[in-house]
Amino acid sequence: MDPENRFRWYLWGIVGAALALRILCALPALTQGGELLLRPDSHTYLLPAKAFLSDGMFLEAPGSVVPATLRPPGYPFMLAALFSIFGETFLAPALLGCLASALACYPAGLCGRIFAGRKGGLIAASFYALNLTSIAAGPLVLADSILGLLCAWQLYYVLRAWKEHCPGCYVRACLLLALGAFFKPVNTPILLLAMPVLAPVFFGFTRKTLYAWGSVALIFSVSLLPWMLRNYRAGADFDMDSNRGEMYYHSGSAIVSAVTHENSETLRERMRRETEAFLAAHPEQFPDVRAKNAWKNARYKELIRKYPAAFLKTHLPQYAMLLPDLPTFLENNALSVSGRGTLAVLRERGVYAALNHYLDGRMILLLPALPFLAVTACLYLFAAWTLLLWIKKWRWRLLLIFGVFAFFYLFAGGPVTMPRYQIPALPFLCAMAAFGAALLIRKVREARNRRTAKAGTAPGN
């Protein structure tokens, strides 16, 4: 077997092992009916899916007449398709999420090969397969693992467009970005803002760049634009979703908490209750989602103007965003429960206090996760080393790609530090870590060879 085929077979082996691992690490939740795999956000996907099945329209809930705009339609439509085939069971979407999470190892390995050859590709795929956050989020009834798979492939084509100056790869990346935006809107600014900037970086100021810009405009016009117009006509924002108003609760409560030191989750729920009561009391002023979101955004901007220092403190990159998703891993295995206010403790008192609060002092629960935590630590160490090397050698093109496909994904949420938001950035981090690990292996081997050669030329040999 030639080396390329062997490499691809090894990648598929890693995918198979990753799938088995994800199912094994979610067995308690899967065997208990899947209820453990739901999160509060899950219902914002499930209700439109059930409405589509029962009413044939994308509505907020079965029996509603209000068009669903809170979430993009990709994942609800996928859920509706699964429910139509397998019935309304959470097992099918959970297994599909595990499969998507495992399949992402393959393009992650291809990205690693671009940076560090075939061995680097296998290292990158292994990092993804053993990443605790990817394992934990895989079976959740949420869109993150599907988006992660799409992001892994889009990164592969972006890296090929950079390395091979290939317009076709650029177009494929844009198509995948647009498809991903139908699952989570975080891809929209990358397609509309970052990809046009990257085009001259990849191709120079040539006809290829004009072709690339035209492809972005065309892809946006035929894919995202119609849905954004549909949402606008339905009384929502001109966007892929209308979830932006939630920023007032999540980010606004973080700002106020930084000033008053009140529990941010308590603040958020109080702000939500007061806001919903006010909006409900003035239906003529706020007849639709767009008007309500405009009011929330105005209040959010008022908080920013009133507390600029607190805004900067809470919205600059948060280290907590890099923490592995240990809570979800434990909850999938019925070792703990969610809804304990841990995020507020993390913001106010730090990692150790949050961990102690979440585990009720039962640190022994960390034992099953320790191997995965060690792998995640190695991932970050090697990725950080690679980043420092790129800065030292001023590999500005790679730094720009890193800024778009890792840094932006990691920190776009501001103070909303959900570990599963790491998933779109994981393929790039794994490829970076593979480069660092392969470089370390090479340096160790060269040092050993030098010692061997030196010993062989010593007097008396």
Among candidate residues 448, 460, 449, 435, the one with its CA nearest the CA of residue 114: 435
pLDDT 10s digits, 21-34: 999 999 988 888 67
Tabulate helix, strand, coil % of the chain (nearest 5).
75, 0, 25
Instruction: Centre a 10 Å sphere on the Cβ of residue 410 and count the other Cβ atoms it contains.
Output: 20
Among candidate residues 79, 186, 212, 110, the one with its CA nearest the CA of residue 421: 186
Q: How far apart are CA 416 and CA 247, in angstroms?
A: 9
According to the model, what pLDDT value does residue 330 have? Answer: 85
Q: How far apart are CA 332 and CA 404, in angstroms?
A: 31
- Does residue 413 register a pLDDT over 90? no
Q: How far is the CA of 338 from the CAs of 2, 322, 332, 373, 456, in angstroms? A: 49, 19, 10, 20, 61
- Does residue 320 register a pLDDT over 90? no
According to the model, what pLDDT value does residue 454 have? Answer: 76
Q: Which residues pair with 358 in a beta bridge?
A: none
- Does residue 230 register a pLDDT over 90? yes
Q: How far apart are CA 51 and CA 77, in angstroms?
A: 10
- Does residue 166 register a pLDDT over 80? yes
Is residue 418 very low, low, confident or very high in pLDDT (cuts 50, 70, 90)?
Answer: confident
Q: What angle do CA 167, 172, 176 make, to 5 degrees?
A: 145
- Backbone phi and psi for residue 418, each to the nearest 5 degrees, phi listed first: -85, 125
- Does residue 363 register a pLDDT over 90? no
Element (H, E) at 6: helix 3-24
Output the pTM of the full model.
0.93
196: number of CA atoms within 13 Å, CB side?
13
Q: How far apart are CA 389 and CA 395, in angstroms?
A: 8
Q: How far apart are CA 325 and CA 104, in angstroms?
A: 18
According to the model, what pLDDT value does residue 14 have? Answer: 98
According to the model, what pLDDT value does residue 348 have? Answer: 66
Q: Which residues pair with 136 in a beta bridge?
A: none
Identify the burial level of 400 via C-beta atoms within 10 angstroms of its C-beta, where 0-12 means exposed, 13-18 middle and 19 or more buried.
middle
Averaged pLDDT for residues 97-117: 97
Q: How far apart are CA 166 and CA 111, in angstroms?
A: 16
For residue 90, what are its two tokens? 């959470």
- Does residue 39 register a pLDDT over 80? yes
pLDDT 10s digits, 2-16: 889 999 999 999 999
CA 253 to mean position of chain CA atoms: 23
- Does residue 309 register a pLDDT over 80? yes
According to the model, what pLDDT value does residue 368 have? Answer: 84
Q: How far is the CA of 419 from the CAs of 150, 327, 339, in angstroms? A: 18, 9, 15
Is residue 158 very low, low, confident or very high in pLDDT (cuts 50, 70, 90)?
Answer: very high
Q: How far apart are CA 113 and CA 92, in angstroms?
A: 33
Residue 198 makes CB contacts below 8 A (sequence gap 6+) with 158, 161, 162, 170, 400, 401, 404
Q: How far is the CA of 118 from the CAs of 111, 122, 153, in angstroms? A: 10, 6, 17
Give the residue with greater pLDDT, 271 vs 448. 271
Q: How far apart are CA 189 and CA 69, in angstroms?
A: 18
